[in-house]
Chains A and B, each alone.
Chain A
Amino acid sequence: MSHEAVRVDPDMEYLTPGVVDLEQMFWTGLGATYTHCNQVWPNLYIGDKKTALEKPGLVEMGVTHIINAAEGTWNNVSTEMIHSLFLVNPSGDIFLEKHWKSVVSRSVCDYFLEAREKALDPEDVPPVISTPHHYLISIYRDKLFFLSVIQTEVPPLFVIEFLHRVAEMIQDYFGECSETVIKDNVVMVYELLEEMLDNGFPLATESNVLKEMIRPPTILRSVVNTLTGSSNVGDKLPTGQLSTIPWRRAGVKYTNNEAYFDVVEEIDAILDRTGTTVFAEIQGVVEACVKLSGMPDLTLSFMNPRLLDDVSFHPCVRYKRWESERVLSFIPPDGNFTLMTYHVNAQNLVAIPVYVKHSINFFESGSGGRLDLTVGPKQTMGKTVEGVLVTVHMPKTVLSVSLNATQGSYTYDNATKVLVWDIGKLNPQKLPNLRGSLSLQTGAPKPEENPSLNIDLKIQQLAISGLKVNRLDMFGEKYKPFKGVKYITKAGKFQVRM
């Protein structure tokens, strides 16, 4: 096969592009700009339907014959946003496909699977992949790939957000998002997907609306259904679908009216070798579980709202009130939802709750090395740090470790080269320590890269940013609800460089 450009007629200036050039053109689309008709060779044109139907134009061009090479009737550019959805498991099998318009061959996923092969880690698969005719946008959630096929210019974030909603919906309906669960409920998942998207337009993505249209499975209901022959599909139009508060259905009734709020803060930080903070910020989220009858109108205020200058809200929150008074005013959805997320990244406000003393040395000879780790509390505001877990990604050549932990236990996975030390509760009087020797592959040189250490931890009853809820008021309903607020701090991406 020739890859070179060829001059067909020695008297002509024209060179046909070589295979490589052509491929380049097709892949990047940088060749010709789109017009209705292009002359591709002297007296040879490629045109679209419009050109073919305009006889005078054809006569003018001197066209005598037309060959129709169109594929089917619907070969025009598809218009919807998400054409198809494929679910792919970690071993690369497609176990569910949903097409919103015509059926796209699943061979389109080959491009994705190829990229999956190339990536070292499933998390490293690029989220947007272009193929000759489609774009593949994917997310990786709960060890599954949600892969969407699109054909037109769409906002990728739109697609990615939607895919996350699909994953959340499955989690919400079936308690977990796994291949087994999806396979067991395949028809219901299919029905749900149909409800969520119509011709590429998201239709109903609010969980309470969906749940009214297709009821989630419960053991009791499936028993009742088999006995009575009734179904899981709601036959009434969900009330929330079209009201200006689509997130809440009408006629909610509870015997116990309760509203709980969890303020959860995660510390993302990078500490350098000396323990100095390179970067730290707090990702906060206020999760709510509201079970209130009727149409309650809630107002939540904070002691120190000035902490929060970067927030994003559930659509129920009235933004104007927040702008002017710094209070959260909203009619809540029914059940669990995320009320708001925020982050605090002013360095001085981010307390670092633990410190790590570490040393890792490898002998010059290259046969082994020593590791010594100590973890201790730092700025904990008097609370106990628990659930401490230290993860060290060892250099590739570390074959085995022989360590001694004064508290907790450790494991070393030789395949992934990850050392995990599960410490548990941190006792300020007796600091946990892990030390011992590392052995390297025989003949391997002294490792070049520095390992990095990740910490997991939990502090109950503390929002490390100092955020405090002041009060919660309810309007619009007469009963007295039970209210509660819980605080918890966790480590997010908390990394210590060694």
Chain B
Amino acid sequence: MLCFHVCAGEIFELKAELNSDKKEKKKEAVKKVIASMTVGKDVSALFPDVVNCMQTDNLELKKLVYLYLMNYAKSQPDMAIMAVNTFVKDCEDPNPLIRALAVRTMGCIRVDKITEYLCEPLRKCLKDEDPYVRKTAAVCVAKLHDINAQLVEDQGFLDTLKDLISDSNPMVVANAVAALSEIAESHPNSNLLDLNPQSINKLLTALNECTEWGQIFILDCLANYAPRDDRESQSICERVTPRLSHANSAVVLSAVKVLMKFMEMLPKDLDYYGTLLKKLAPPLVTLLSAEPELQYVALRNINLIVQKRPEILKHEMKVFFVKYNDPIYVKLEKLDIMIRLASQANIAQVLAELKEYATEVDVDFVRKAVRAIGRCAIKVEQSAERCVSTLLDLIQTKVNYVVQEAIVVIKDIFRKYPNKYESVIATLCENLDSLDEPEARAAMIWIVGEYAERIDNADELLESFLEGFHDESTQVQLQLLTAIVKLFLKKPTETQELVQQVLSLATQDSDNPDLRDRGYIYWRLLSTDPVAAKEVVLAEKPLISEETDLIEPTLLEELICHIGTLASVYHKPPSAFVEGSRGVMHKRLPARTGSGESTESPDVGTIAGGSGTETAPSIIPSQGDLLGDLLNLDLAPPTTTGPPPPTSGMQMGGMDLLGGGLDSLVGSPMPPRHLGGDIGGSAAMGAGFGAVPAVMPASLNAPMGGGLGDLFDLGGGVGMPLGAYIPPKTVWLPAMKAKGLEISGTFARRAGVIQMELTLTNKAMSVMTDFAIQFNRNSFGLAPAGPLQVLSPLSPNQTIEVSLPLSTVGPVMKMEPLNNLQVAVKNNIDVFYFSCQYPISMLFVEDGKMERQVFLATWKDIPNENESQFQIKDCHLNSDAASNKLQASNIFTIAKRTVEGQDMLYMSIKLSNGIWVLAELRVQTGNPNYTVRKERIRIT
């Protein structure tokens, strides 16, 4: 630490001067003291001497002493007490400037003993006739609260502060708001800033009149308000819009925050919505002509805005073009936004720019530019070809880092567009020798392995890497191992030696556990079942897409609410990084709500768990519990091995659910079924692992070494029996109620057709004939697609199985519960009525896999109130297995991402009546409970 000590002689000299009789000399001495203080010298030893100068009529001297006091009072609390009398006296001074100065300085002296003396003067100053004093006192309340919150509450200062919001002077209002928001921040649950339409109106009025800094406080405060309806939010937007033309960029950005947030509530077909969108672009562009530091913060925020509402800046691509003399941090941000704005319409321009940047001097920037070309290719499909040829041009420059970067991105392009651009591999191979960065080497090796069958000398190429195996970085070693195994599986005859060499290098000569484990896994796979190995190693890879670098939608929403803050600069949730974040408050964008009836699409029904719906088609089944059922029922691991077995009671629970109707559990989390699962969290997990092989096909069930947990997973994922979930049959109509006819049944979905599977048993004494079936109107329009096929008469004690195909085009009527079906069965004896419930999953159609882009867009658009979340307890499957399982029931995984050890699966479901359900399934490794955090619904 740098610390300057003033030598004793100097202190002595100053001391003498401070105690001089001459006013002028005193003042000069205090100035010298302050000057030492500003350069970090320790002059606290002079405390008593300086405080002695405090009682003076000379305002300048007084101010200087106050400056000194503020700096050192903390280290000299006993001395600071000496100053109290003067403070109290000054608070009564006829000059408002002195009154304000005194109250302000007292607040800055963070000494406990002083605060008690502060209360009375502060109370007077809060009601001072002069607004300058009131405004200063308002800030002082916040200071005091920081020192002693209890005292502030006890003294009733908070109420006085609230009253100041209605002050006649806008500066006082602004400071009161600032002070209150500050206090409220440290007490997240207190209802200090009770925002209601009246107080909002006051704030909006003050907004026009107070200083720029006050405007920022007021705007930030407004952003926390939740308007009652779209009309109110529109009127607030209208009054905030003029702030967009303010010269202070912080005001502009705070205004943008308010508008972005409240816009969410406006119906999109409203004219004003379009006007507002148009008004947002120019101020954002203007921010980019400010100083580079301001530009940087603006760009980080624009990055968010562009992801949330790309339409605002879609025509402004050119302002993001990089200028030669932009600081590097601005250049990199601009580049990022250029990619986000890239579209088919402007891609030619963007590519020309990027190619230009790739020849600049700054290495980091050039690298990022090359990467950007790759991202363009992945984002705008039509441009892929042009991007690839641009990259090839760049490779021809032979500039080492450009070539390496280009190879890394070409690998990504291959993964997005397989079998399209492999013609360039030859060119890439020419540059093999110049690659010295691990990432580029790994990328190249991946390419060689992936396309080994098309590269004649693939074995030679890989062999050349193998020579220095131990000197390579882990990334390259792993890639090389995989590539050679791929090569072996493709060309087994000539590469046997090579594969053996790499396996032994990886397993015997390496200390790296990752490498060793992977080596062992391949070894076992290859030696036990080459066919399975092929399936695993050469499995079709999921395509990569642009969304990998998009911010996760919920985080984005939260960040939009924090535009202009540090959170928005770091693109992290505010709770994640601000030191000692006081009570984490998650902000959410408001939902679109209509003040009138016309604003909302009438087709969007209420969410599961909501009160009854009026219109017939707007029936939303309770998906949540259903997902729970599907996972719970036949996925629970068999209870053959391991400690606390997940008892069969759980399975029963699952069945109960189906039988007992979904309605009882609508919208509420499933209650924990049994204690064992919760207690034995990790133990049950272990049991899950142990149990998996039993489900695996025999080919993979070969004995395997310990510690290959990964492989179990792998095997489990691949070998899991697929097929939609079919609940067991239950008795729908007991014989005693139907004159001897017993009907039990279930529902199944086979090849896209819903089947009602019936078992008819004749328990009567006479023969039954002339069977027919009819359904009452029901929630999803289920109706028999054909007659009930009971061809021969049913003799006593005979049982037959009948399958009845169903269609979903019948008449619709909302049922209670939703999935209730009333059935009438007729035979030669009588007509019988019964009701049964079908699993909602029957209605999930096969084409329920939403396009990624559509998914993303839809997800953003669905209002929050159509959302619910719940937990699925005790599901011992990893995310991939769960995903496979769900897919069998037409619940499709659209995307998966891993955040902090949690897998997030984004899934879509389409119901037979065209309702889409989007869900996010969160699977935490090692946690048997799944959280389905979100469900959103819309009608197509």
Asked whether A343 and B286 contact (CB < 8 A) given A157-B564, A449-B359, the answer is yes
Per-residue B-contact encoding for A229-245, CB less than 8 Å = 1, 0 else: 10111011100011010
Tell me which of A133, A232, A310, A450 contacts B60 (CB under 8 A).
Answer: A232
Any A CB within 8 A of the CB of B766: no
Q: Is the CB of B577 within 8 A of A201?
A: no
* Interface check A15, CB cutoff 8 A: no
Residues of chain B within 8 A of A246, CB atoms compared: 171, 211
Residues of A contacting B282 in the complex (Cβ-Cβ under 8 angstroms): 309-310
User: Which of A96-104, A365-373, A374-382, A401-409 is the interface stretch?
Assistant: A96-104
Q: Are A127 and B108 in contact (CB under 8 A)?
A: no
Residues of A within 8 A of B245 (CB): 311-313, 319, 322
**A201 adjacent to B178 (CB under 8 Å):** yes
Residue of B nearest to A417 (CB): B361
Contacts of A493 in B (CB 8 A): 323-325
Nearest Cβ on chain A to B365's Cβ, whole angstroms: 11
Task: Tell me which residues across on chain A come within 8 A of B139, comparing CB atoms.
Answer: 198-199, 201
Q: Is B848 an interface residue (CB 8 A)?
A: no
Contact of A78 among B146, B211, B253, B289 (CB under 8 A): B146
Cβ distance B25 to chain A, nearest Cβ, rounded Å: 11
Contact call B252/A312, Cβ cutoff below 8 A = yes
Q: Which of A74, A124, A164, A281 contacts B74 (CB 8 A)?
A: A74
Which residues of chain B are near A312, meaning CB under 8 Å? 245-247, 252, 283, 286
Query: How many residues on the B side are at the interface (Cβ–Cβ under 8 A)?
Result: 112
- How far, in angstroms, from A105 to B40 measured CA to CA in the complex? 9
Q: How far is it, in angstroms, between the C-alpha of A242 and the C-alpha of B324 when the chains are bound?
A: 45
Knowing A101-B108, A155-B253, say if A341 contacts B247 (CB, 8 Å): yes
- Tell me the bound Cα distance from A267 to B917 in angstroms: 52
- Taking CB atoms and an 8 Å cut-off, the chain B residues in 17-36 that contact chain A are 23-24, 27, 31, 34-35
> What is the bound-complex CA distance between A120 and B58, given in angstroms?
50
Inter-chain contact A161/B324, CB cutoff 8 Å: no
A221 contacts chain B at the CB level, 8 A cutoff? no
**Tally of A interface residues using CB under 8 Å:** 108
Report A307-322 CB contacts with B as 1/0, cut-off 8 Å: 0011111110001101
Let me know if A13 and B682 touch, CB within 8 A.
yes
In the assembled complex, B399 has its CB within 8 A of some CB on chain A: yes
Q: Is the CB of B576 within 8 A of A161?
A: no
Q: Are B296 and A126 in contact (CB under 8 A)?
A: yes
Are A155 and B564 neighbours in the complex by a CB distance under 8 Å?
yes
Which B residues lie within 8 Å of A495 (CB)?
Answer: 323-325
Chain A residue with Cβ nearest B257: A155
With both chains docked as a complex, state the minimum distance between the C-beta of B257 and any C-beta of chain A, in angstroms: 9
- A199 surroundings in chain B (CB, below 8 A): 107-108, 139-140, 142-143
Contact assessment for A73 and B112 in the assembled complex, using a CB-CB cutoff below 8 Å = yes
Pairwise interchain contact B38-A279, C-beta atoms closer than 8 A: no
Known: A190-B34, A338-B247. A242 touches B135 (CB 8 A): yes
Which B residue's beta carbon lies closest to that of A204? Answer: B211
Contact with A along B477-489 (1 / 0, CB 8 A): 0000000000000
Interface segment, A25-33, A62-70, A478-486? Answer: A25-33
Please determine whether B246 and A103 come into contact, CB atoms closer than 8 angstroms.
no
User: B39 contacts A242, CB within 8 Å?
Assistant: no
Q: Which chain A positions have C-beta within 8 A of B97?
A: 235-237
Q: Which residue from A153, A201, A393 sits with its C-beta under 8 Å from B324?
A: A393
* B132 interface neighbour in A119, A154, A237, Cβ under 8 Å: A237
Q: Is B564 in contact with A103, judged by CB distance below 8 angstroms?
A: no
Q: Give the residue among B38, B95, B186 with the most A Cβ atoms within 10 A.
A: B38
Residues of B within 8 A of A231 (CB): 27, 58-61
- Among residues of B, the one whose C-beta sits closest to the C-beta of A283 is B289
Chain A CB within 8 A of B12 CB: no
Is B186 within 8 A of A77, CB to CB? Answer: yes
Q: For B248, list chain A residues within 8 Å (CB).
A: 161
Contact of B291 with A34 in the complex, beta carbons under 8 Å? no
Question: Are A155 and B578 in touch, CB under 8 angstroms?
Answer: no
A186-B35, A198-B136 given as contacts; is B296 within 8 A of A28 (CB)?
no
B412 at interface by CB-CB < 8 Å: no
Q: Kindly state whether residue A139 has any CB partner on chain B within 8 Å.
A: yes
CB-defined contacts of A229 to chain B, threshold 8 Å: 23-24
CB atoms of A139 and B74 under 8 A apart? no
- Knowing A186-B38, A281-B319, A448-B397 are in contact, say whether A151-B579 is a contact too (CB < 8 A): yes
Residue with the greatest number of chain B CB neighbours at <10 A, chosen from A199, A340, A341: A199
CB nearest neighbor in B for A151:
B579
A161 touches B294 (CB 8 A): yes
B328–A94 touching, CB < 8 Å:
no
Please tell me if the beta carbons of B1 and A96 are within 8 angstroms of each other in the complex. no
B104 touches A198 (CB 8 A): yes
Mark out the residues of chain A between 22 and 50 whose CB falls within 8 Å of any chain B CB in the assembled complex. Answer: 28-30, 33-34
Q: List the B side residues contacting A128 at CB < 8 Å.
A: 296-297, 566, 569
* A202–B213 CB distance below 8 A: yes
Chain B contact residues: over half helix, strand or loop, or mixed? helix
Given contacts A130-B577, A236-B97, A312-B246, contact A106 B566 (CB under 8 A): no
The interface residues of chain B lying within 8 Å CB-to-CB of A323 are 242
Binds A, one of B63-71, B737-745, B824-832, B864-872: B63-71
**Least CB distance, A441 to chain B, in whole angstroms:** 16
Could you tell me the distance between the alpha carbons of A235 and B142 in the complex, rounded to whole angstroms? 27
Which residues of A lie under 8 Å from residue B596 when comparing CB positions? none
Question: Closest B-chain residue to A146, C-beta based?
Answer: B293
A293 within 8 A of B: no
CB contacts (< 8 Å) of B569 on chain A: these are 128, 156
Query: Which residue in B185, B566, B580 is a CB contact (below 8 Å) of A34?
Result: B580
B216 engages A155 (CB within 8 Å): yes
- When distances are taken between beta carbons in the complex, the residues of chain A under 8 Å from B421 are none
How far, in whole Å, are A495 and B572 apart by their CA atoms in the complex?
Answer: 36
- The CA-CA distance from A46 to B247 in the complex, in Å, is 47
Collect the chain B residues with CB atoms within 8 Å of residue A33's CB. 575, 584
Taking a contact as CB atoms under 8 Å apart, the answer to whether B63 and A191 are in contact is yes
A287: CB under 8 A from chain B? no
Asked if A160 and B294 make an inter-chain contact with CB atoms under 8 angstroms apart, the answer reads yes
Q: Are A187 and B34 in contact (CB under 8 A)?
A: yes
When C-beta atoms are compared, the residue in chain A nearest to B178 turns out to be A201
A76 to B581, CA, bound (A): 11
Tell me the B36-66 residues at the A interface (CB within 8 Å). 38-40, 58-61, 63-64
Residues of B within 8 A of A78 (CB): 146
Q: Complex: how many Å from CA A310 to CA B245? A: 8
Known contacts A190-B67, A312-B247; is A127 also within 8 Å of B293 by CB? yes
Residue of A94, A237, A495 ringed by the most chain B CB atoms within 10 A: A237
- Which residue, of A187, A231, A232, has the highest number of chain B Cβ atoms within 10 A? A187
- Tell me if B318 counts as interface (CB < 8 A to partner A): yes
In the complex, A300→B361 CA distance in Å? 47
Contact A343 B289 (CB under 8 A): yes
Q: What are 5 pairs between A and B in contact, CB < 8 Å? A: A124-B327, A187-B64, A199-B143, A315-B211, A449-B360
- CB within 8 Å of B: which residues of A? 13, 28-30, 33-34, 73-74, 76-79, 94-103, 105-107, 119-121, 123-124, 126-128, 130, 133-135, 138-140, 151-158, 160-161, 164, 186-187, 189-191, 194, 198-199, 201-202, 205-206, 229, 231-233, 235-237, 241-242, 244, 246, 268, 270, 272, 278-279, 281, 283, 309-315, 319-320, 322-323, 338, 340-341, 343, 345, 393, 395-396, 448-450, 452, 454, 493, 495, 497
Closest 7 CB pairs of A and B: A310-B282, A231-B60, A233-B60, A127-B293, A157-B250, A202-B213, A319-B242
Apart from the given pairs A94-B39, A155-B564, A341-B289, 7 other A-B contacts in the complex at a CB distance below 8 Å: A97-B38, A107-B2, A130-B577, A153-B567, A156-B566, A393-B361, A454-B325
Interface residue ranges, B against A (CB under 8 Å)? 1-2, 23-24, 27, 31, 34-35, 38-40, 58-61, 63-64, 67, 71, 74, 95-97, 104, 107-108, 110, 112, 130-132, 135-136, 139-140, 142-143, 146-147, 169-171, 175, 178, 182, 185-186, 209, 211-213, 216, 220, 242, 245-250, 252-254, 282-283, 285-286, 289, 291-294, 296-298, 318-319, 321, 323-325, 327-329, 353, 356, 359-362, 397, 399, 564-567, 569-570, 572, 574-584, 682, 900
